C-alpha cells in the first residue's frame, strides 16, 4: 500500500469539517445545547479514539452527559478482544431501548472493534433496531459524514467495510485530563497472533509521520502535560512502513529532545521486535519512563509457537535480561493468556515458572476466549473451563505474592511521583505514579495535582503503594 493512500489528504478532513458545520447548524435548531454521551470499553487506543470522537462532537456544538436519558446522541465505543467484553456491550445496548422509547429522536451509535465484525453488525441490524449508526475503527474519521447521513436520510447507517485503514491528522480532541495525554503513533497490527481478533478489526499497520507525532508531543508539553503515553498495537513495528525508515527507538530519541519536565510512556511492545537498541535508547533518554510492558502471553515455547508469537521462552527471557542490564530499576509488566487451545497443565505451569523467574511488578491475566474467525478458535480445546480456572488461580497466587513482595520493598524509600488525580479516599485523597508507573496513594492537598512530588512510602499491598509527602 502506497503512503499517499494511507495518509488522508487534507481535503478529506476539510470535507468532514463541512459536515461538522452542517451538524452544528442542525443542533442549533434545537434551541438548547445538544447533549452527547460517549461510553468507552477496552484498551487505551479506544480511550484515545473516544477523545477524538468527543472532539468532533464538541465541534458539532455538543455538550457531554453521563446520563443516557439526558442524551441526544449516544456513542458506544466497543472492544472485541474477549467474549466477556462483547457480552457486556450487548447488555448495555439492549438497555438503551428504554432511553429510545422515552426519546425517539435519540441517535444511538456503536463503533470500535466489535462493530467491525460482520457477525456483530448483522446482529445489531436484525435484533437491535434502535441502533442508528454502526461504524468500525477505520471509519472513525468520517463520523461527521456518517452522523449527517443518519440525520438527513432517516435511515440506519452501517460503515464496516474491511479496509486497510488510513491515518487522519488534525482531528479535534477533548483530552479528559490536564496531566496525562495519549498520543497514537501507529494504528493496526500485522502480527496475527493466532488467538487475536485485533488484526481483523483494526486493519494493517500504519505509522504516523514522525513530524506529526513530534508536533503533537511538543504541543502537549507546552500546554503543561506531564505524562504522555505513546500508543500502538505494537509500537516496536513503528516506522516499518514509512518512506524515510526510522524505528521506534529513533522516534523515542527524537521525542526525548523536546525540552520540558515530562515523562514518556508507551504501549504495547511486542517482544519479537524489542531489543538492545530499544533498551539502550530508553536508558539514555531522561524523559522516557523506566517502565516496560512486554507481554509474554505464555511461558511454554510450544504454546508460543501455536500462538504465532515469533519467540521462544528462552528468547523472551534473554530480552528481559537485556532490558534489566540496560535499566536495573525497570518496572516490568506483562499480559498472560491461560488455557490456549490444547494447553496442558504442564504447559500452564511453565507460565507460572516463567513469572516466578521474571518477577514482574504486575500482570494482566486472561483466560483464553475463542474469537470467531481467528485460527486458534478452530483448534481442539479439550481442557475444561474449571481446569483452566485452577491453573489461572495458581498463576494469580504466584503473581500476587510477587507483587506484594516487590511493593513491600518500597516501604521506607522516598520516590519521585507525579500526582495525577484524586481517588475519592479520605485517608489517601491523591493518586500518583512512580517513574516506573506504580500507583501510589498519597496524603496531601489537591492543589498538588499535575505536579511532581517526593513521597516517602509508608505502606503497600498487592496492587499499590501508600505514601506521605516529604
Footprint on this chain of ligand 5AD (rule: CB under 6 A): 81-82, 195-196, 295, 297, 335, 337, 366, 368-369, 371
Min separation Cβ 67 and ligand 5AD, Å: 31
Min separation Cβ 49 and ligand SF4, Å: 15
Among ligand SF4, ligand 5AD, none, what binds residue 52 when CB lies within 5 to 8 Å by partner kind?
none
Min separation Cβ 110 and ligand 5AD, Å: 21
Q: Which is nearer to ligand 5AD, 138 or 194 (CB)?
A: 194
Q: Which is nearer to ligand SF4, 270 or 293 (CB)?
A: 270
Among ligand SF4, ligand 5AD, none, what binds residue 128 when CB lies within 5 to 8 Å by partner kind?
none
Closest residue to ligand 5AD, judged by C-beta, is: 335
Among ligand SF4, ligand 5AD, none, what binds residue 199 when CB lies within 5 to 8 Å by partner kind?
ligand SF4
- 3 state SS of 279: helix
Would the CA dihedral through 350, 356, 359, 360 be positive or negative?
positive
Min separation Cβ 465 and ligand SF4, Å: 29
Rounded to 5 degrees, φ, ψ at 33 are -70, 135
Q: Which is nearer to ligand 5AD, 337 or 419 (CB)?
A: 337
Q: Which is nearer to ligand SF4, 145 or 247 (CB)?
A: 247
Q: Which is nearer to ligand SF4, 52 or 293 (CB)?
A: 293
Which residues form the interface with ligand SF4 (CB under 6 A)?
189, 191-193, 196, 198-199, 233-234, 270
Min separation Cβ 185 and ligand SF4, Å: 15
Q: What angle do CA 289, 410, 420 make, to 5 degrees?
A: 50
Q: Which is nearer to ligand 5AD, 293 or 441 (CB)?
A: 293
Cell numbers of 201, please?
478489526
Q: Which is nearer to ligand SF4, 77 or 234 (CB)?
A: 234
Nearest CA-CA partner of 239 in 199, 281, 218, 211: 211
Min separation Cβ 103 and ligand SF4, Å: 37
Among ligand 5AD, ligand SF4, none, what binds residue 368 when CB lies within 5 to 8 Å by partner kind?
ligand 5AD
C-alpha to C-alpha distance for 90 and 126, rounded to whole angstroms = 13
C-alpha to C-alpha distance for 229 and 234, rounded to whole angstroms = 13
Residue 268: cis peptide before it, omega within 30 degrees of 0? yes
Which run of H or of E encompasses 66?
none
The strand pairing partners of 17, in sequence order, are none
Q: What angle do CA 428, 429, 431 make, to 5 degrees?
A: 90
Among ligand 5AD, ligand SF4, none, what binds residue 189 when CB lies within 5 to 8 Å by partner kind?
ligand SF4
Min separation Cβ 347 and ligand 5AD, Å: 16
Among ligand SF4, ligand 5AD, none, what binds residue 234 when CB lies within 5 to 8 Å by partner kind?
ligand SF4
Q: Which is nearer to ligand 5AD, 392 or 410 (CB)?
A: 392
Among ligand SF4, ligand 5AD, none, what binds residue 270 when CB lies within 5 to 8 Å by partner kind?
ligand SF4
Min separation Cβ 68 and ligand SF4, Å: 31
Q: Which is nearer to ligand SF4, 81 or 355 (CB)?
A: 81
C-alpha to C-alpha distance for 354 and 341, rounded to whole angstroms = 19
Q: Which is nearer to ligand 5AD, 236 or 297 (CB)?
A: 297
Min separation Cβ 439 and ligand 5AD, Å: 20
Among ligand 5AD, ligand SF4, none, what binds residue 402 when CB lies within 5 to 8 Å by partner kind?
none
**Per-residue exposure over 289-308, b if at least 16 CB sit within 10 Å of its own CB, e if not:** bbbbbbbbbbbbbbbbebbe
DSSP string, 360-415: -SEEEEEE----TTSGGGGS---S-HHHHHHHHHHHHHHHHHHHHHHHHTTTT-EE
Min separation Cβ 115 and ligand SF4, Å: 17
Among ligand SF4, ligand 5AD, none, what binds residue 173 when CB lies within 5 to 8 Å by partner kind?
none
C-alpha to C-alpha distance for 236 and 375, rounded to whole angstroms = 24
Looking only at Cα atoms, what is the longest distance across the chain? 66
Looking at the chain, the number of H-run helices and the number of E-run strands are 14, 19
Query: Around Cβ 122, how many Cβ atoms within 10 Å?
Result: 12
Which run of H or of E encompasses 155?
none
Nearest CA-CA partner of 262 in 438, 450, 445, 421: 450
C-alpha to C-alpha distance for 55 and 51, rounded to whole angstroms = 6
Amino acid at each position: 500500500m502506497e503512503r499517499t493512500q494511507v495518509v488522508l489528504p487534507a481535503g478529506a478532513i476539510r470535507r468532514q469539517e463541512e459536515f461538522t458545520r452542517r451538524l452544528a447548524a442542525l443542533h442549533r435548531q434545537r434551541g438548547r445545547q445538544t447533549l452527547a454521551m460517549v461510553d468507552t470499553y477496552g484498551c487505551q487506543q479506544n480511550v484515545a479514539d473516544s477523545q477524538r470522537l468527543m472532539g468532533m462532537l464538541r465541534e458539532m456544538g455538543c455538550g457531554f452527559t453521563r446520563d443516557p436519558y439526558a442524551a441526544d446522541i449516544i456513542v458506544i465505543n466497543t472492544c472485541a478482544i474477549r467474549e466477556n467484553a462483547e457480552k457486556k456491550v450487548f447488555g448495555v445496548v439492549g438497555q438503551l431501548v428504554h432511553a429510545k422509547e422515552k426519546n425517539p429522536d435519540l441517535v444511538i451509535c456503536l463503533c470500535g472493534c466489535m462493530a467491525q465484525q460482520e457477525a456483530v453488525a448483522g446482529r445489531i441490524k436484525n435484533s437491535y433496531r434502535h441502533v442508528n449508526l454502526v461504524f468500525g475503527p477505520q471509519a472513525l474519521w468520517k463520523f461527521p459524514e456518517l452522523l449527517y447521513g443518519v440525520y438527513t436520510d432517516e435511515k440506519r447507517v452501517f460503515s464496516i467495510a474491511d479496509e486497510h485503514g488510513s491515518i487522519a491528522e488534525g482531528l479535534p480532541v477533548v483530552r479528559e485530563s490536564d496531566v496525562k495525554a495519549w498520543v497514537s503513533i501507529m494504528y493496526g497490527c500485522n502480527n496475527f497472533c493466532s488467538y487475536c481478533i485485533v488484526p481483523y478489526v483494526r486493519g494493517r499497520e500504519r505509522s504516523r509521520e514522525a513530524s506529526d507525532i513530534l508536533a503533537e508531543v511538543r504541543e502537549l508539553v507546552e500546554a503543561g502535560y506531564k505524562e504522555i503515553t505513546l500508543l500502538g498495537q505494537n509500537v516496536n513495528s513503528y516506522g516499518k512502513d514509512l518512506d524515510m525508515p526510522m524505528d521506534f527507538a529513533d522516534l523515542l530519541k527524537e521525542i526525548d529532545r523536546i525540552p520540558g519536565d515530562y515523562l514518556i510512556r508507551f504501549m504495547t511492545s511486542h517482544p519479537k521486535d524489542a531489543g538492545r537498541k530499544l533498551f539502550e535508547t530508553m536508558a539514555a533518554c531522561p524523559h522516557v519512563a523506566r517502565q516496560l510492558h512486554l507481554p509474554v502471553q505464555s511461558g511454554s515455547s510450544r504454546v508460543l509457537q501455536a500462538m504465532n508469537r515469533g519467540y521462544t521462552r528462552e528468547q523472551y527471557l534473554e530480552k528481559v535480561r537485556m532490558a534489566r542490564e540496560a535499566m536495573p530499576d525497570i518496572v516490568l509488566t506483562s499480559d498472560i493468556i491461560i488455557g490456549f487451545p490444547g494447553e496442558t497443565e504442564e504447559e500452564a505451569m511453565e507460565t507460572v515458572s516463567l513469572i516466578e523467574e521474571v518477577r514482574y511488578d504486575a500482570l494482566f491475566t486472561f483466560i483464553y476466549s475463542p474469537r470467531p474467525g481467528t485460527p486458534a478458535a478452530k483448534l481442539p480445546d479439550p481442557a475444561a473451563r474449571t481446569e483452566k480456572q485452577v491453573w489461572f488461580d495458581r498463576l494469580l497466587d504466584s503473581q500476587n505474592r510477587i507483587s506484594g513482595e516487590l511493593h513491600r520493598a518500597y516501604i521506607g524509600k522516598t520516590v519521585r511521583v507525579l500526582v495525577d488525580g484524586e481517588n475519592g479516599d479520605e485517608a489517601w485523597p491523591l493518586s500518583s505514579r512512580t517513574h516506573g508507573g506504580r500507583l501510589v496513594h498519597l496524603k496531601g492537598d489537591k492543589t498538588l495535582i499535575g505536579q511532581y512530588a517526593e513521597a516517602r512510602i509508608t505502606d503497600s499491598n498487592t496492587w499499590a503503594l501508600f505514601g506521605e509527602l516529604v
